[in-house]
Amino acid sequence: MAQDTLVTEYNGKLECITPMITEEQLQARIKELGAQISADYAGKEVVAVAVLKGSVPFFADLIRQIELPGLSCDCLGLASYGSRTESSGVVRLTSDLSRPVAGKHLLIIEDIVDTGLTIQYLLQNMETRQPESIRICTLLHKPAGERVKVPMDYVGFTIANEFVVGYGLDYDERYRQLSYIGTMKFKDLPEE
Ligand code: 5GP
């Protein structure tokens, strides 16, 4: 069912979120990704890595669509500096994996790839730990924002160059709880 634009007054502005990818579309695509990942890794031991915090809802839904007895899960935290709606590419690890991954098949689960700088940093960092393989699964890809080429093995949706929130993606730590992805625009409050 199509949802209406969500309008919230916050800090003297109107924040308008217009649905772009519905909950049904997200779940259908995640089912397809889970089937593809299950087939590609059949018989292998895989460590699925959630990149906190944005990928949490996607990660939770995706792992339940992966049928691999050898699947284990871990997470790491990244912080990137920049404005609230543009990434700077300066990334730092805020929390690390709980176990070594040498010799393991790593599947990194990301919320969105925009400039590619975050994934580039993560790949370089993970490669030093000598896993057997590394693949990237991102829910969203914004090709128009690309500054570096990064290999993406699984992509949920390719989207236009707009700022999106919901389903894990935030604006100032808000809107992560939405069950859909929406584009976010700001408007001035009407004059009294
Ligand atoms: P990249 O390093 O590829 O430019 O961006 C990766 C990170 O920037 C994402 O993990 C996410 O935290 C943030 N980001 C990029 N585009 C968007 C967007 O449209 N909405 C939100 N909420 N975050 C974004």
pLDDT at 60: 98
Provide the whole-model pTM.
0.94
- Give the span between the Cα atoms of 120 and 61, in whole angstroms: 25
pLDDT at 164: 97
Pocket test for ligand 1, best of 59, 109, 111 (most atoms within 8 A of CB): 111
159 neighbors 2 (Cβ within 8 angstroms): no
Query: Which whole number is the average pLDDT over 54-80?
Result: 96
Please give the number of the atom of ligand 1 that sits closest to the Cα of 120.
Answer: 2
Structural domain includes residue 135: yes
User: Confidence band (pLDDT; 50, 70, 90) for 2?
Assistant: low
120-156 CB burial, b ≥16 within 10 A, e <16: bbbbeebeeeebeebbbbbbbbbeeeeeeebebebbb
Structurally, how many domains does the chain consist of? 1
Q: Quote the domain boundaries for residue 111.
A: 19-81+90-184
pLDDT at 191: 75
Is the per-residue pLDDT at 84 higher than 90?
A: no
Q: Which phi and psi (to 5°) does residue 174 adopt?
A: -105, 165
Query: Which whole number is the average pLDDT over 6-22?
Result: 94
Domain harbouring 47, CATH code: 3.40.50.2020
Query: Which whole number is the average pLDDT over 169-188?
Result: 96
Structural domain includes residue 7: no
Give percent of the chain with pLDDT exceeding 90: 86
User: Confidence band (pLDDT; 50, 70, 90) for 83?
Assistant: low
**Residue keyed to tokens 């990149």:** 51
pLDDT at 79: 84
> CB under 8 Å to 84, separation ≥6 — which residues?
171, 172
Reported as half-sphere exposure (CB side, CA atoms, 13 A), residue 190 has a value of 1
Structural domain includes residue 29: yes
| Residues lining ligand 1, Cβ inside 6 A | 54, 80, 87, 89, 111-118, 163-165, 169-171
Is the per-residue pLDDT at 1 higher than 50?
A: no
Nearest CA owner, ligand 1 atom 12: 54
* 61 a catalytic residue: no
pLDDT at 159: 98
- The per-residue pLDDT of the chain, averaged, comes to 93
Give percent of the chain with pLDDT exceeding 70: 94
pLDDT at 190: 79
pLDDT in tens, 94-146: 999 999 999 999 999 999 999 999 999 999 999 999 999 999 999 999 999 89
